[in-house]
Amino acid sequence: MLDLKWIRSHVEEVQRAADRKHIDLSVKEVLALDDRRLDLLAEVEELRRRRNEASKRIEAWRRSGEREAAEQAQAEVAASKAKLGEAEVALREAEGELQALLLRVPNPVSPDTPDGESDADNVELRRVGEPPAFDFPYRDHVALGELHGMLDLARGVKTSGSRHYYLTGTGALLHRAVQQLAVDLLLRKDYVLMDVPLIVRGEALTGTGFFPLGRDQVYRLDEEDQWLVGTSEVSLVSYFANEVLDLARPIRLAAASSCFRSEIGSAGRDVHGLYRVHQFAKVEQVVLCEADPAVSDAMLSEITAHAEELLRLLELPYRVVAVCAGDMSQKTYKQYDIETWMPSRGTYGETHSASNLHDFQARRSRIRYRTPEGKTAYAHTLNNTMVATPRILIPLLEVHQAADGSVRIPPALRPYLNGMERIAPPIPGTTSED
């Protein structure tokens, strides 16, 4: 969360960030509550001081035999203790209310973040590659998946409910292949690969900025304070919670993991096929670096470039957009999304997201580093979706299809598929189960 002193000196900036991100918050209310907390704290400290001084006088009177004075003072102390108890209760309540409000205060956005209300207002920065121009009636990824026996949505729904699926045969192999390609690319760039917990405590989600505002997107295990992560970013950042790091060089971490999201509020949106599902896999990259805006901005460009390199290896047309304030989460300072061309949607669909959070997560998670001057400072953190699957299978299948229903495999993926160059069309008169 943001430092209260900083908030006091940047009231308009913080309020504007809340308004632009559609967060219901009054910064003036936050500061008024902090004023009340400070008044109550002063009152409690004064009452404690008087109680301690009175106790010392009582003890001195008892030693000198002045029992009457001691007893009278004792009665006064008893009355002041009751008042102190009331003040302490009021202080705890004010502190709790203030903490709840502070957890809603958003990270300000970068000066070059565009204004806007939703993803429709994101600003295109560049396009790479040309969308295919098919001269035949093309199939969407569901039709291709069913044609080749790679995808079974009906049984996914039968087993687990809406927005669940089975990937079978070549579908499952493609799902794993794109992940391993992404991992290998990051390993060549000196990332440390980690296998991380997928079940975390609420404090990890609060520390990384997913709680309290994103609570409805996370699956909870029974009544325990245990939650399924929607991204390994939570586990990777929380790995360093409450620690002081050496950030002479940025720390680069990666994880390949399953992810889970409830998608509350998305009813009726992107319900066809694999675009928006409850369970998926991601290769995530997380970077921790010194609290220098120039350094973290360079890191943002770097992690975005990694995802772009992957898309070029997959030979998929894409565009990079600057995310507007209204499409940002509470925790984000600056964000780029990468959208890949999906023929069945007739447009680009989001497949990657890269964010610079400055010290927002580090403050909440208490991740610090020692500066060259020997002082401690909160780190900057960044994250990027290197690849998310099965969503990436939508453009991968659709863009590389041929008129006969076959699908070309980009050369970069072939080593992970035993040299397979294409997914051949089924033999006429057979089914995908033959």
The structural domains of the chain, with segments of one domain joined by +, span 4-102, 119-423
CA 27 distance to own-chain centroid: 23
Place of tokens 């008024």: 32
CA angle 368, 370, 374 (to 5 degrees): 140
DSSP letters spanning 309-357: HHHHHTT--EEEEEPPGGGS-TT-SEEEEEEEEEGGGTEEEEEEEEEE-
Is residue 369 a contact partner of residue 247, using CB atoms and an 8 Å limit? yes
**What's the distance, Cα to Cα, between the start and end of the chain in Å?**
57
CA distance linking residue 8 with residue 175, whole number of Å = 49
Q: What percent of the chain has pLDDT over 90?
A: 86
CA distance linking residue 400 with residue 389, whole number of Å = 17
Peptide bond into 212 cis (omega under 30): yes
312: which 2 tokens?
Answer: 């070029």
CA distance linking residue 38 with residue 192, whole number of Å = 45
383: which 2 tokens?
Answer: 């994250």
| CATH topology classification for 4-102 | Helix Hairpins (1.10.287)
The DSSP element (H or E) to which 185 belongs, if any, is helix 170-187
Q: Any idea which residues carry the catalytic annotation?
A: 261, 276, 350, 353, 391
| CATH topology classification for 119-423 | BirA Bifunctional Protein; domain 2 (3.30.930)
pLDDT digits (tens, 9 = 90+) for 33-58: 999 999 999 999 998 887 777 777 66
Give the pLDDT band of residue 430 (cuts 50, 70, 90): low
pLDDT digits (tens, 9 = 90+) for 288-314: 999 999 999 999 999 999 999 999 999
pLDDT digits (tens, 9 = 90+) for 365-416: 999 999 999 999 999 999 999 999 999 999 999 999 999 999 999 999 999 9
Is residue 234 a contact partner of residue 354, using CB atoms and an 8 Å limit? no
Rg (CA), the chain: 28
CA distance linking residue 211 with residue 168, whole number of Å = 35
The DSSP element (H or E) to which 399 belongs, if any, is helix 393-399
155: which 2 tokens?
Answer: 């049984």
